[in-house]
Amino acid sequence: MSLATLNDVLIEGRAQKYAVGAYDFMTPTMMLGILDAAEETKTPVILQFPDSPRGMADLDVFAPAMVAAAKKASVPVVVHLDHGKSVDACKRCLEAGFSSIMIDSSTLPFDENVRITREVVALCKPRGIPVEAELGHVGQGRDYDPDNYQYTDPKEAAEFVAATGIDALAVAIGNAHGVYKGKPRINYPVLEEIVKAVSIPLVLHGGSGIPDEDFKKIIKMGVSKINIFTELSQEATARLRKIENDKLDIFSATEAIREGFKARTLEKIKLFETKSI
């Protein structure tokens, strides 16, 4: 399989009502666990590199490994920038060979979000690289409060997609990043109106901790990319803690992390009903 783009895996997902998991990672071992699960199930997968100070400092090391792993895989693998915070970050990942870019200016006013997103689209589209952007704001789970939440406005969503030419829209529908304070509460009326307003694939960030029944419903409604990291790291941590002290070394720790990321990715592939190639 060749390096895949976001459109290669999401357009069919939206049409056939399944989702493709997008998994962040911080080490090659974590990445290999994710790929192990995709290879075992023969399903497409999205590898996500987060725009963080530590991550971007290591981009020149990680990018070649990610691209090489994607090209070597027997399944479609998207190499994606997650939450690009600036045009410069998007440029760096584009030059590094990423096959998909997210620009996240969702904390800025609508017009500024449009302007920056259009700039990134103008950089990427001539190269055939799809762009994801966010409207509304997906905050942190530790601050989660469904009663004071910046939902995506369906009318603005239609205007935003038309004005920017993006390929995927990350929506705020009651989801949040990291561990939720309280129980997640998906706003289905908002999601329903967004689905009616835009035809491009929708993205759910902060998937860790959302109940399975909610996943099944939002996927059938039109969400075709779901981001997961916290649950993978929690599983790896749990496996590390089970290693007996006299058997804990760099080799057993590495195996536990890889197997933890693989195990939880396998669960999500099944839950999201990702279609095999």
Q: Distance between alpha carbon 269 and the CA centroid of its chain, in Å?
A: 13
Concerning whether 214 is annotated as a catalytic residue, the answer is no
The helix (run of H) or strand (run of E) holding residue 133 is strand 131-135
Report in angstroms the alpha-carbon separations of 21 from 14, 34, 143.
Answer: 13, 10, 24
First to last CA, the chain: 10
- Which spans in the chain are helix H? 6-16, 28-41, 53-57, 59-72, 87-95, 110-124, 154-164, 188-197, 212-221, 230-241, 250-271
Token pair for 121: 């689209």
Distance CA 134, CA 156 (A): 11
Catalytic residue among 8, 24, 51, 82: 82
State the catalytic residues.
82
